[in-house]
Amino acid sequence: MTSPGNTTTLNQNSLSPVISAGQSRRALLAGSVGNFIEWYEFGVYGYLATLIAGNFFTLEGQSGMTGLLLTYASFALAFFCRPIGAIIFGRIGDRIGRKPTLIAVVLLMTLATALIGLLPTYAQIGVAAPLLLTLLRMFQGLFAGGEFGGAVSLMTEFAPKGKRGLYGAWQSFTVALGLLTGVALVALLVQTLPTEQMKEWGWRIPFLLALPMGFVALWLRLKLDETPSFQASQQAPVKGKKTAAEKASAIATVKAIALGIGRMMGWSAGGYTFLVVMPSYLQTSLHATFLQALVATVLANVGFALAILPAGILSDKIGRKKVMIIAVLAVIILSFPLLHLLQDPESSLMAKGIAVLIAGAAIGMIAGPGPAMLAEMFPTRVRYTGLGLSYSLSNAVFSGCAGLIITGLIKETGNLDIPAYYVVATCIVSLLALMTLRKDDHLRDLEK
């Protein structure tokens, strides 16, 4: 195995397994649909944060900002359950296979999401309401922790030669589709339902719709084949006592996970700041209307979606390192100017729309090559676990806490530039970590 700085080794097998075009397409679709549901729900929770705060976390004698902070605390707690899920389901996926594990994950994740839509509110059952909501959020995080590692393992292990960046980019693209679907549905409900009905029961609809989505995902995953890479790894002889080489390999895996977190940090922080936290920031800090905030978020997510697949394709041609470093530098350079443009009351609506579109596109350029980059860091025997832990730990700290950190610091300091400071600081760390990428990782086979 290579050191964490060198993300892959050449395939030691003389013959590569033959993968049909049909198998590749099924893997792409089945892997993508779970990600879509996961991020649809997380996006909906973020977009409905102010309504959820009013129904579950606005306690007697507390301000609306306090309720919003409690809502984001629940949001963050769900993210901190993701690494636990990544360990549990990652180990299962690396031992018994990608297919059965991904089937279990999507089923459990769907049920937890749908139950949120059935919960009684604080006005109905008191303090039990926020506790039950937080418990379901924790279960969601636990099950979602098993999604990314398995889905990206599935997509990249079935990817045709020279298209690993593109296939991995579909994971990020379906994240964008999930977020866009969530915000579009919320915007439609806001336009269709009177305000009181939206507050009373309309917010439940997006969560309940996860149920039919989950059944579609389950059907697709039941038709999957197991990946050839996993099947080949299962044929390797099992040794009893751990050798010194195996212990060294375990240490190298832990180092690779830490490096993966560093490489993802800016992606996690920037993605959630610009794509999910933005609606609440625009409403509470810049006094935009709910609908204006949602429109801005749609534009940011459109920019995000438009950049992902081209960035993944480009990384297959010129390498992950070049594309991701350029993207991270763009985020660092543009964060403050774009935020100041949003804050300026004299700037036109078109200018503000272009600003959020550009912000989303810059994050999309990081997210496109990101999944393939992470897949190339781990051998098959630990890929599910390594991918899941890198992704979930980074998201737990830098995505899940984004709303809490940004809202809390703005409340304490009154500084409206906090989102830009947060994104730039994390992207600088990612830039340093991405410098350790090999230039030819996109040309090398996944490590067995």
d(CA 214, CA 233): 30
Q: What is the pLDDT of residue 7?
A: 38
Q: Which residues contact 29 (CB under 8 A, 6 or more apart)?
A: 220
> In the chain, where are the structural domains located?
21-232+246-443
Sign of CA dihedral 20, 25, 26, 30: positive
Work out the angle at residue 188's Cα, subtended by the Cα atoms of residues 185 and 193, and round it to the nearest 5 degrees: 120
Q: Which residues lie closer than 8 Å to 300 by C-beta, 6 or more apart?
A: 274, 275, 278, 356, 357, 359, 360
Pick the closest to residue 386 from 377, 397, 396 (CA basis): 377
* CB distance 361 to 309 below 8 Å: no
Q: Give the C-alpha separation, 402 to 408, whole Å.
A: 10
Contact 403, 49 (CB under 8 A): yes
Eight-class DSSP state of 97: -
pLDDT computed for residue 2 by the predictor: 42
Q: Phi, psi (5° rounding) for residue 4?
A: -60, -30
Q: Distance (Å, rounded) from C-alpha 146 to C-alpha 96?
A: 14
Instruction: For residue 360, give both structure tokens.
Output: 């989303």
Instruction: Return the pLDDT at 34.
Output: 87
**DSSP letter (8 states) at residue 11:** -
Q: Which of 264, 272, 243 is nearest to 405 (CA)?
A: 272
- The angle formed by the CA atoms of residues 49, 179 and 277, to the nearest 5 degrees, is 40
Question: Encoding tokens for residue 409?
Answer: 């610091």
Cα–Cα distance for residue pair 173/307, rounded to 1 Å: 9
The answer to whether residues 34 and 105 touch, using CB atoms and an 8 Å cutoff, is: yes
Closest CA to 110 of 268, 276, 221: 221
Per-residue DSSP letter, 162 = T
Residue type for position 419: P
Residue among 19, 14, 448 at smallest CA distance from 232:
448
Fold of 21-232+246-443: Growth Hormone; Chain: A; (1.20.1250)
- Tokens describing residue 7: 């993300």
Residue partners of 58: CB distance under 8 A and separation at least 6: 64, 67, 122
| Rounded distance between C-alpha atoms, residue 265 and residue 295, angstroms | 26
Structure tokens given for 266: 């800016």
* Cα angle: 74, vertex 282, 47; to 5 degrees: 40
Q: What is the DSSP string of 226-295?
A: PPHHHHHHHTSPPPSSPPHHHHHHHHHHHHHHHHHHHHHHHHHHHHHIIIIIHHHHHHHTT---HHHHHH
Each of the 448 residues of the chain gets a pLDDT tens digit; together they read 444 444 333 344 444 567 778 888 889 999 899 889 888 887 788 778 778 877 887 665 555 556 666 776 776 777 788 899 999 999 999 999 999 999 999 999 999 989 999 999 888 888 888 888 888 988 988 998 899 899 999 999 999 888 999 999 999 999 889 878 887 888 888 889 888 898 889 989 999 999 999 999 999 999 888 888 888 877 765 555 566 666 777 888 899 999 999 999 999 998 888 877 776 677 766 777 777 777 877 888 899 999 999 999 999 999 999 999 999 999 999 999 988 887 887 877 788 788 889 989 999 999 999 999 999 999 988 999 999 999 989 988 887 777 778 878 888 888 888 888 999 999 999 999 999 999 888 888 888 7
CB 403 within 8 A of CB 280: yes
For residue 185 the two structure tokens come to 């549905």
pLDDT of residue 107: 93
